[in-house]
Amino acid sequence: MTRLIIPALSCTLLLGSAGVLAGERVGDFALIDNLGTQHHMSWYDDHQAVVIAPQANGETDTATLEGLTRLKQKYQGQGVAFFMINPGLQTDREAVTADVAATGIDLPVLMDDTHLVTEMLGIERLDEAVVYDPTSFEISYRGPVGGSVEAAIDKLLAGENADLVSAVGSAAFIDSNIADHTNLSYTKDIAPIIASNCATCHRDGGVAPFAMDSSLAVQGWSPMIREVIMTKRMPPGQIDNKVGHRIKNAMNLSDNEMQMLVRWVGAGSPVDLLDDVDPLTQLVWPDTKWTLAKDLGEPDLIVKVPPQAIPATGVIDYRDIVLDLGLEEDQWVRASEVAPDKTEVLHHIITTVVPPGGRPDPMQAFTAALDDLPEDRAAAIRGEIFTAVASGKQPPIGKIFRENPDLGIGQILGGDDDLPQFGGYAPGNAVSLAPEGVGGLLKAGTSLSLQMHYTTSGREVTDETEIGIYFYPEGEVPTEKMTGGVGNEFDIAIPAFSKDHEMEVVTYIKNESDLYSLMPHMHFRGKRMRFVAEYPDGNEELLLSVPDYDFNWQLVHELEEPIRVPAGTRIRAIGAFDNSAQNRANPDPSIDLKWGEQSFEEMFMGFYAWKEANQGGDD
């Protein structure tokens, strides 16, 4: 037998306004499922209802499973989404996937490793499901899967306001670690998290729109702090840190840090200052625009980009700017960094090093690469190009590189192997730092070619970006060079209104190498991308997953430890585009998309940095 309940006020405070009262909004959230897909509830606002029920390996309630199966069949195609949620009881996704498969129910399992969403939804027992409105973020039902569930769904489908009906289940209680964080200290627990993860950007003069430089500021922004943690909007550029290899510059909060911040906000954001000292007001930031200065000092050479006038509105064509470095003697480069001036308009810079003799001819490099292939393959490619040209069509370059990844488009366009890996710019990505003893040569007379992409911000500004270059000391010559590759799919055809248009591009690593970094690149419709190494022996390994790609934060993901890969390794970049109206960044979901340079067009690329293992001496 069930009974109507209203959670106590103390529970409401403890859960961060999460305990559910009639008509009370619980909020938006995002979680990654057992297969690595991220689900953001606001993305489902084209549905009328979402049903979520708990899952636990070997303990999932049988009646709940039977009820979900029946409901899924009844409401198929009617705008109802179904999920299960593992409330932090198990974090092994493969084990969860196996358990779900054994039950015979085909539903994604949201991995609530922190237990925060389960708390927010008010699920306390293994037989308590919720009916959730993804447009208002309100719960209309919580309790066992029975007739009241259908009544709640039917009301939402009919567009009626549904007050909360809450019923107590009878299955086992879900273990929670709420008690772990009942007496959180701002000084000892919260301020250190803000200082380590937020304050670098959220400070006076930082790139963030507001500062979190005092307890008062953090208190004031605490509702937003909770919201961006629950939806995984911040910290930016998050990877799926539960799979793949560890990333050096990952910006994810730990599960414990997320729990502490959300529960501190839920407790009313109390502040306890020891000796009236606020740790955030004591933070000191370096008086320099160069982030590498703390380790390498000020740059040896600063290159100023000529002032660029940016209008208030309109579409700005890419600007190609060539800068003479003024080098009178050869210099070995250790690092470089872009210091953007007007970050609100500068979207990216792609930097190309132009040697004194000019850039390599891509066609000559392509022809030379063909000559290195077995003759039967090379002849087939030449025939394909000739046929296209003879019929007045463009050669199918994308198809050729896709079918022959060992041609290596990135290496073809890269030219001289002695050239340094030079830093470009995208939000969150401005530094290129080679390992000690690794570098590239800038010869006297070398220049930089900058492809600069600006977007308008609503007001006229002038951008004066600078580029800093760090050289090895005179007489010190690095013994190794960093190389790398680019996977670029030119044959893009994304249908209008498509929600999950999947693509793949393969990059070939010719020689045994140490892989150092990976970077996905798409535009506004980019949704997700993961990188899989396919080894010559047929084995595969997931290297990195970016489940919620964000065009505003294009990060080079640096591996904590380089990965040694054998000759002939193929890196598969597997991703998807969201060209639907659910994608809030989508300029126009009604158009079919092709490859293009502008942000409102699309690209599908993977960038990689690796160092060949055999560079003339090391075993």
- Give the pLDDT confidence of 395-419 residue by residue, as tens digits: 776 677 767 766 655 555 444 556 7
| pLDDT of 3 strictly over 60 | no
**CB within 8 Å of 326: residues ≥ 6 apart:** none
Give pLDDT, residue 119: 94
Give the DSSP H/E element, type plus range, for residue 363: helix 362-371
Set out the domains of the chain in order of their start, with CATH numbers: 9-176 (3.40.30.10), 179-282 (no CATH), 293-359+415-471 (2.60.120.230), 483-612 (2.60.120.230)
| pLDDT of 390 strictly over 80 | no
In angstroms, how far is the first alpha carbon of the chain from the final one?
Answer: 73
Q: Which residue has the higher pLDDT, 294 or 131?
A: 131
* pLDDT tens per residue, range 120-169: 999 999 999 999 999 999 999 999 998 789 999 999 999 887 788 888 99
Residues of the chain above pLDDT 90, percent = 64
| Residue position matching structure tokens 């790398």 | 484
**CB within 8 Å of 393: residues ≥ 6 apart:** none
Q: What is the mean pLDDT of residues 346-366?
A: 75
Q: Using CA atoms, how far apart are residues 141 and 132, in angstroms rounded to an integer? A: 7
Where helices occur in 51-162 by DSSP H, the ranges are 62-74, 93-103, 116-121, 147-157
8 Å CB contact between 273 and 282: no
Q: What is the mean pLDDT of residues 10-38?
A: 67
Confidence of residue 78 (pLDDT cuts 50, 70, 90): very high
* pLDDT tens per residue, range 423-469: 788 766 788 888 889 998 999 999 999 989 888 889 999 999 999 99
Q: Using CA atoms, how far apart are residues 294 and 538, in angstroms rounded to an integer? A: 44
Q: Using CA atoms, how far apart are residues 128 and 20, in angstroms rounded to an integer? A: 14
Q: What is the pTM of this model?
A: 0.84
| pLDDT of 6 strictly over 50 | no
CA atoms within 13 A on the CB side of 186: 21
* SS3 at position 226: helix
8 Å CB contact between 3 and 167: yes
| pLDDT of 360 strictly over 60 | no
β-pair type (165-166, 138-143) = parallel
Q: Is the peptide bond before 87 cis (omega within 30 degrees of 0)?
A: no
Residues of the chain above pLDDT 70, percent = 89
Give pLDDT, residue 8: 31
* pLDDT tens per residue, range 522-548: 999 999 999 999 999 999 999 999 999
Task: Tell me which DSSP letter residue 125 carries.
Answer: B
DSSP 575-605: EEE--STT-TT-S-TTS-B-B-SSTTSB--E
Q: Which residue has the higher pLDDT, 107 or 377?
A: 107
Give pLDDT, residue 279: 96
Q: What is each CA distance from 170 to 87, 125, 126, 489, in whole angstroms?
A: 17, 7, 8, 54
Q: What is the mean pLDDT of residues 467-493?
A: 90
| Residue position matching structure tokens 């237990």 | 115
